[in-house]
């Protein structure tokens, strides 16, 4: 029974790579961009939708703020990109928010950074499910009363 989970994992993922083989298994920059930018892209897409929703409610005066807000989002994305660039060069063997914060600021800030990332990941999934449900019951209005049950599944 103990070998069964290992065999299932081995069947799905294959044999583990030796450390010297891992360097040759890197993905291209285009694939990496698609994989690692999904969080930023989903955040920008959902945040922009909500910002525009509020600005439309504010009327014509609110919609004038669209370009300055878009500019602020672009500046923020460049700051995040520069931060990632610096982190990649400072930690070539890998370093997430916890490791970087712990090394530079201490254990407590590292734990805060790790906890914040966990919350952000959970919220990203939650927002994605809610957006998918919104698209689903806008297409099929009869599903609206069952949105909570569908969302749980």
Residue 3 has pLDDT above 60, yes or no: no
State the Cα–Cα distance between residues 39 and 120, nearest whole angstrom. Answer: 9
* pLDDT, position 109: 93
* pLDDT, position 107: 93
State the Cα–Cα distance between residues 7 and 13, nearest whole angstrom. Answer: 10
E strands in the chain: none
Identify whether the C-beta of residue 69 lies closer than 8 Å to the C-beta of residue 51: yes
Interior angle at CA 38, CA 138 and CA 20, nearest 5: 145
Segment 51-60, tens digit of pLDDT: 778 888 888 7
The mean pLDDT of 90-112, rounded to a whole number, is: 87
Please name the helix (run of DSSP H) or strand (run of DSSP E) that holds residue 72, with its range, or none: helix 66-90
Q: Is the dihedral of CA 93, 98, 103, 104 positive or negative?
A: positive
Segment 27-82, tens digit of pLDDT: 777 777 766 666 666 666 667 777 778 888 888 778 788 888 888 888 988 888 88
Q: Which token pair is 111?
A: 């734990």
Q: Which token pair is 25?
A: 């298994």
User: Where are the domains positioned within the chain?
Assistant: 7-90, 96-153
pTM of the model: 0.55
């Amino acid at each position: 029974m103990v070998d069964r989970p290992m065999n299932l994992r081995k069947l799905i993922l294959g044999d583990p790579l030796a450390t010297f083989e891992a360097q040759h298994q890197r993905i291209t920059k285009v694939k990496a961009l698609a994989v690692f930018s999904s969080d930023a892209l989903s955040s920008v897409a959902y945040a922009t939708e909500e910002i525009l929703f509020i600005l439309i409610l504010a009327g014509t005066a609110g919609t004038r703020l669209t370009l300055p807000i878009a500019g602020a989002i672009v500046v923020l994305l460049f700051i995040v990109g520069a931060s990632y660039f610096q982190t990649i060069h400072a930690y070539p063997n890998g370093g997430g928010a916890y490791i970087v914060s712990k090394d530079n600021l201490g254990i407590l800030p590292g734990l805060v950074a790790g906890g914040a990332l966990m919350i952000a990941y959970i919220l990203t999934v939650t927002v994605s499910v809610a957006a998918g449900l919104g698209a689903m019951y806008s297409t099929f209005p009869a599903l609206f009363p069952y949105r909570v049950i569908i969302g749980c599944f």
